[in-house]
Amino acid sequence: MSDNLKPKILGIGGTPRVGSSSERALSISLRAAEADGAETLLIAGPDLLFPMYNPSTPGRTEKASFLLDSIRQADGLIIASPAYHGSMSGLVKNALDYIEDLRGDPRAYLDGMAIGLIICAGGWQGAGQTLSALRGIVHALRGWPTPLGATLNTSNPLFSPDGELTDLSSKFQLEEVGRQVAEFARMKKSARGQQMLQSIGS
């Protein structure tokens, strides 16, 4: 595949604890996107520990600036969050709040981007509620949630002691989310390239 058509997929999420279930799940989706021809980057756990978002304070930490620059360069995004009390974690919500800084960019917010969603919850009710809440935020940021959102019930053991995902249904969901984001991002990138060629030729 030409590097010009290789989509860049960014994964963000997890918890402050390195190697959390949501971070592991996110890594599986990113590997599937990579196997589908995408270039991937993971920003998770401690790398998302930013100050509370304040739109009236222009200064940004190095970590926050890196996240925003990575989103600007990305063609697709995968977000993974644990379910805390029926919604996403404060860590993930705060990271998404920083996207407000992109409102004046040529591509405002997440406009037109394929967004994959992953929820890890200690029960199906919390997983469904959190997925719905996260989809609402993505819509507000002008992103396109992929048809499949992955929901993992962590009340049952999903990972082996060495970190391998043992639940086949969860594995399918995570890999399909990664593939869908890569596929939609590649189609959008290809269409954009065709439009540029037509504009040059006209």
DSSP state of 17: S
Q: What interhelical angle do 168-201 and 21-35 show, nearest 10?
A: 50
pLDDT digits (tens, 9 = 90+) for 72-122: 999 999 999 999 988 999 999 999 999 999 999 999 999 999 999 999 998
* C-alpha–C-alpha distance, residues 102 and 200, integer Å: 28
Identify the pLDDT of residue 130.
95
- 156-164: average pLDDT: 83
Strands (E) located in 75-134? 76-84, 87-88, 114-121
Section 50-73 average pLDDT: 94
**How does DSSP classify residue 51?**
P
The two most distant CA atoms of the chain are separated, in Å, by: 59
| pLDDT for residue 53 | 96
Q: What is the pTM of this model?
A: 0.92
Q: What confidence score (pLDDT) does residue 194 get?
A: 57
Percent of the chain with pLDDT over 70: 92
Q: Which CATH superfamily hosts domain 3-201?
A: Flavodoxin domain (3.40.50.360)
- Which run of H or of E encompasses 83? strand 76-84
Residues whose CB falls within 8 Å of the CB of residue 167, separated by 6 or more in sequence, listed in order: 152, 156, 158
pLDDT over threshold 70, residue 28: yes
Tell which phi-psi region holds residue 137, choosing left (phi > 0), alpha (psi between -120 and 50) or beta: alpha
pLDDT: which is higher, 188 or 201: 188
Structure-block tokens of residue 15: 């918890």
Domain ranges within the chain, ordered by starting residue:
3-201
